[in-house]
Chains A and B, each alone.
Chain A
Amino acid sequence: MKDAHEHLDKLMQELRRGTITIGVLSQLSEPQYGYSLVTMLGKNGIRVEPGTLYPLLRRLEKQGLLDSKWDTNEARPRKYYLLSKTGKEVFELLVGEWKNIVNSLNHVIEDKGDDVDGND
């Protein structure tokens, strides 16, 4: 038998996978490079491993949500990512959807027991 924490770890992994994308998009109205994102998100309590973030950034770029640019003026070359036009739109929509999910889930979690009217 697995104990509760093992189950939790697995489920949290799945849960994070989607939410990290929102977190990443939220920080990219200004250009950022990968590791600065890791730190920024970390300061805000969103722990993300570089090994997950870097491939994610590339995927988002490939999908057209992010633009990227190499900066070679600094001590070491860094790839900066920035929301593209589509990326901005998608992010706004995503935030709306996210708020809906949070509301519905809060509703479901907290109002359990007293069944309110069935139609939404």
Chain B
Amino acid sequence: MEMIERYIYAVTQKLPQSQREDIAVELRGLIEDMLEDRSEKGRYSGSDIEEVLLELGNPKELADKYRSTKKYLIGPELFDSYVYILKVVFSVLGISIGVGFLIQVVLNPVNILDHFIDMIVSSVTAFPMAFGWTTFGFAMGELAGNVKRKDLQFEGEWKPANLPPIPVEQSRIKRRDAVASIVFYAFFIVLFSFSSDYLGIWVFHDGFSGVVPFLNDQKYATYFVFIILILSIGILNECVKLAFGKWTYKLVLYTTLSNTISMIVLLFMLSGADFWNPTFMNELVEANVVTAGSDAYHTVDWIWNQAPLWIIILLLINIVWNSIDGFIRARKNKK
């Protein structure tokens, strides 16, 4: 008897809560009827039970029949592009991590074990992160697509006249562009998760003698999270774009919103004094790149102080331009 209960449980646990009780009672009745049918009054053996359950078939399949609709995180329409993008992201990550490791070994062969551990650590963090964000992006696309499908049903009967026009060439989202951007983001994720040590001015005196870093080493761990977050949002955006397939006002709205969020995070970071290496100029002098008090020193100092402002302005122009560009492309479609 226990096996019957197990069977019923296996079927009903895969069904919506509201139907479980009802279907369970009905199934129990059915199984008892079937057992009665194949044995003398009220006496049946374990093998009878097994036979009956076999006839009813795999509980998973029975539950599928009760459910009849299938639910997807990423449906068959998007699945191929999803796998394609995952492959691209993973190969970029793999190659960049490998190359990063090689560079470190060439520059500093003594600490090869540390570099190796670094490589493992970045692999363990970067791959799941890339996987997660890519999946999330496509799942959002799937969700948007489902909502759209429901909207169409709501509009009533389908007519050939309702067919959406083929997107104008300029408004289509090209897979190659999106992939290039994803590669770009993935590369920077690797770069930043590897170490900020090499992000700076490389000093060569009879060969490589060190780096004067741009960023503040002490605070890097805090900022690292935000940097990765921003880059991940970038990858997510590209995935959503791919899922949409063409520029629409909704997509423009979405990208503008997410870019603005990234921008706000960036502004917080870049304008914080402790984000940048506070002793950058002193270190440059110590490394014999410039001499204190010279004209060159003042020029570099000026550039160093102005740079954050210019970076912010460039980024602002970039997101404004992206939104305008997307808007123009989406509008071309409406004509």
Interface residues of A (CB under 8 A from B): 33-35, 39, 49-52, 54-55, 58-59, 76-79
List 21 A-B pairs, Cβ < 8 Å: A33-B29, A34-B29, A34-B30, A35-B33, A35-B37, A49-B57, A50-B30, A51-B55, A51-B62, A54-B27, A54-B30, A54-B66, A55-B68, A58-B23, A59-B68, A76-B28, A76-B32, A77-B25, A79-B22, A79-B25, A79-B26
Q: Chain B contacts of A79 at CB under 8 A? A: 22, 25-26, 29
> With A and B bound together, what is the CA distance between A55 and B66 in angstroms?
5
> Chain B interface residue count: which class?
20 to 34
Query: Are A35 and B30 neighbours in the complex by a CB distance under 8 Å?
Result: yes
Query: Are A58 and B34 neighbours in the complex by a CB distance under 8 Å?
Result: no
The closest CB in chain B to the CB of A58 belongs to: B66
Q: Chain A contacts of B22 at CB under 8 A? A: 79
Main secondary structure of the interface of A (DSSP, over half): helix
Query: Are A34 and B26 neighbours in the complex by a CB distance under 8 Å?
Result: yes
Give 1 or 0 for each of B38-70: 1 = CB within 8 Å of chain A CB.
Answer: 000000000000000001110001100110100
Q: Chain A contacts of B34 at CB under 8 A? A: 35, 50
Q: Chain A contacts of B25 at CB under 8 A? A: 77, 79
> With A and B bound together, what is the CA distance between A52 and B64 in angstroms?
11
> With A and B bound together, what is the CA distance between A76 and B33 in angstroms?
9
The closest CB in chain B to the CB of A50 belongs to: B30
B49 shortest CB reach to chain A, Å: 15
Interface residues of B in 4-28 (CB under 8 A from A): 22-23, 25-28
A113 shortest CB reach to chain B, Å: 38
Query: Are A52 and B26 neighbours in the complex by a CB distance under 8 Å?
Result: no
Among A39, A55, A76, A77, contact of B65 (Cβ-Cβ < 8 Å): A55
Q: Chain A contacts of B62 at CB under 8 A? A: 51, 55
> With A and B bound together, what is the CA distance between A55 and B29 in angstroms?
14
The closest CB in chain A to the CB of B56 belongs to: A51
Query: Are B26 and A54 neighbours in the complex by a CB distance under 8 Å?
Result: yes
Q: Chain A contacts of B26 at CB under 8 A? A: 34, 54, 79
Among B55, B61, B66, contact of A50 (Cβ-Cβ < 8 Å): B55
> With A and B bound together, what is the CA distance between A76 and B62 in angstroms?
22
Query: Are B55 and A76 neighbours in the complex by a CB distance under 8 Å?
Result: no
Among B28, B33, B37, B57, contact of A51 (Cβ-Cβ < 8 Å): B57
> With A and B bound together, what is the CA distance between A77 and B26 in angstroms?
8
Give 1 or 0 for each of B69-96: 1 = CB within 8 Å of chain A CB.
Answer: 0000000000000000000000000000
Check A77/B57 contact, CB under 8 A, given A35-B34, A55-B68: no
> With A and B bound together, what is the CA distance between A34 and B65 in angstroms?
15
Other than the known A58-B23, A79-B22, what 9 A-B pairs have Cβ atoms closer than 8 Å? A49-B55, A51-B61, A52-B65, A54-B26, A54-B30, A58-B66, A59-B68, A77-B29, A79-B29
A91 shortest CB reach to chain B, Å: 21
B4 shortest CB reach to chain A, Å: 13
The closest CB in chain A to the CB of B32 belongs to: A76
Q: Chain A contacts of B61 at CB under 8 A? A: 51
The closest CB in chain A to the CB of B58 belongs to: A51
Query: Are A78 and B56 neighbours in the complex by a CB distance under 8 Å?
Result: no
A79 shortest CB reach to chain B, Å: 5
